[in-house]
């Protein structure tokens, strides 16, 4: 369980953590009608800073648009709310969770009259797959669950209901003794992890699957592609056949929670040397230096909470 903090932002005010409750029959609870973001805030020499906050909030509003939700607040208000929640709870390094959801308006599925409610919560959160995973990597499997086909669930939206797919992938992987599952798309090609995008390295080239409507458009994925460019590492977005997972020199996940997590085996087949590879380490080190404010790549990726 996550440790409760003091306050949660709700539609313009900070309310006590314990008061952030919803009715059982809210459309969000019954039908998963909720869109959200997961954002990390890091301790930096200039105080807490939120990583790529405007990009995350843009995706949040894109998700709301796709699901025909019109939030009453401007994106800038949610940006300020994220900063306020970190400040009010006196958090340093933490996870920030904005949510826009359909509240209570009866039991119907078609819920244009459900009130649109906006929240921002935050709490301290360490390495998602464990501190050790960042250095030594994780064992993953290819999931027997396939990601939704394009034009079924719009996976560009980060919507709560879509996470039933992710939890099937994750729970099966854990039950079978793996840290994570890698899902294929409906065409049998590699899509993404349960809550991460995926990269592989082969002959010095950094490769990641196309954003073809089966995976989330990860903010970290985008950051890693930029960092690779800055470091002069060649990058390629392409269709990734399943078998190239096994023959990669290096493999890693990216995500807000997972940051850059090496994968040391897939389906019990060792990947490369079976540990964090040199390209992964270079990208991971640079990524962590940037998010912690130790290095500035000039792209304005940090929003200082006290700024
Ligand atoms: N795919 C899924 C399904 C996710 O939940 C996440 C985490 N938000 C990602 C990929 C990675 O996205 P990001 O780097 O923006 O956190």
> How many angstroms is it from 58 CA to the middle of ligand 1?
14
Q: In the chain, which stretches have pLDDT less than 70?
A: 111-112
Active centre residues (catalytic)? 158
My answer on whether 115 and 140 are in the same domain is no
| Angle ∠(239,240,246) on CA atoms, nearest 5 | 170
Task: Give 218's DSSP letter.
Answer: -
Say yes or no: 154 and 282 in one domain: yes
Residue in the block written with tokens 């890698």: 182
User: For strand 34-36 and strand 205-209, is the pairing parallel, antiparallel, or unpaired?
Assistant: unpaired
Instruction: Please count the other Cβ atoms lying within 10 Å of the Cβ belonging to residue 114.
Output: 20
Q: What is the pLDDT of residue 307?
A: 75
Which ligand 1 atom minimizes the distance to the CA of 38? Answer: 8
Tell me which residue range forms the domain holding 263. 131-291
Question: Ligand 1 atom closest to Cα of 37?
Answer: 8
The answer to whether residue 254 sits within a structural domain is: yes
- Do residues 95 and 146 both lie within one domain? no
- Tell me how far apart the alpha carbons of residues 212 and 230 are, in angstroms, rounded to a whole number: 25
Residue 80: inside a domain:
yes
pLDDT of residue 57: 98
Please say whether the beta carbons of 96 and 85 come within 8 A: yes
Measure the CA–CA gap between 105 and 115, rounded to whole angstroms.
Answer: 7
pLDDT reported for residue 122: 97
Name which residue sits closest to atom 5 of ligand 1, judged by CA.
195
């Amino acid at each position: 369980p996550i440790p409760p903090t003091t306050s949660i932002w709700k539609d313009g005010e900070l309310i006590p953590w314990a008061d952030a409750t919803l009715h059982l029959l809210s459309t969000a609870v019954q039908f998963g009608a909720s869109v959200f973001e997961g954002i990390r805030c890091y301790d930096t020499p200039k105080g807490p800073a939120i990583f790529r906050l405007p990009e995350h909030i843009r995706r949040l509003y894109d998700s709301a648009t796709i699901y025909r939700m019109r939030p009453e607040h401007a994106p800038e208000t949610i940006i300020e709310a994220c900063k306020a929640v970190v400040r009010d709870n006196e958090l340093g390094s933490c996870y920030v969770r904005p949510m826009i959801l359909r509240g209570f308006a009866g039991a119907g599925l078609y819920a244009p009259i459900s009130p649109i409610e906006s929240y921002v919560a935050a709490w301290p959160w360490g390495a998602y797959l464990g501190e050790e995973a960042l250095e030594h990597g994780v064992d993953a499997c290819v999931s027997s669950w396939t990601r939704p086909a394009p034009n079924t669930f719009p996976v560009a939206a980060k919507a709560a209901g879509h996470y039933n797919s992710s939890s099937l992938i994750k729970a099966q992987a854990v039950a079978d003794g793996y840290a994570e599952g890698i899902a294929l798309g409906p065409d049998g090609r590699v899509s993404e992890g349960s809550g991460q995008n995926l990269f592989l390295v082969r002959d010095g080239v950094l490769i990641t699957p196309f954003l073809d409507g089966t995976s989330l458009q990860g903010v970290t994925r985008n950051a890693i592609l930029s960092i690779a460019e800055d470091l002069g590492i060649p990058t390629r977005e392409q269709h990734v056949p399943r078998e190239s997972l096994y023959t990669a020199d290096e493999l890693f996940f990216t995500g807000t929670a997972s940051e850059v997590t090496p994968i040391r085996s897939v389906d019990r087949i060792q990947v490369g040397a079976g540990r964090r590879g040199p390209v992964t380490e270079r990208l991971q080190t640079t990524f962590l230096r940037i998010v912690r404010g130790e290095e500035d790549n000039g792209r304005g990726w940090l929003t200082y909470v006290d700024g």
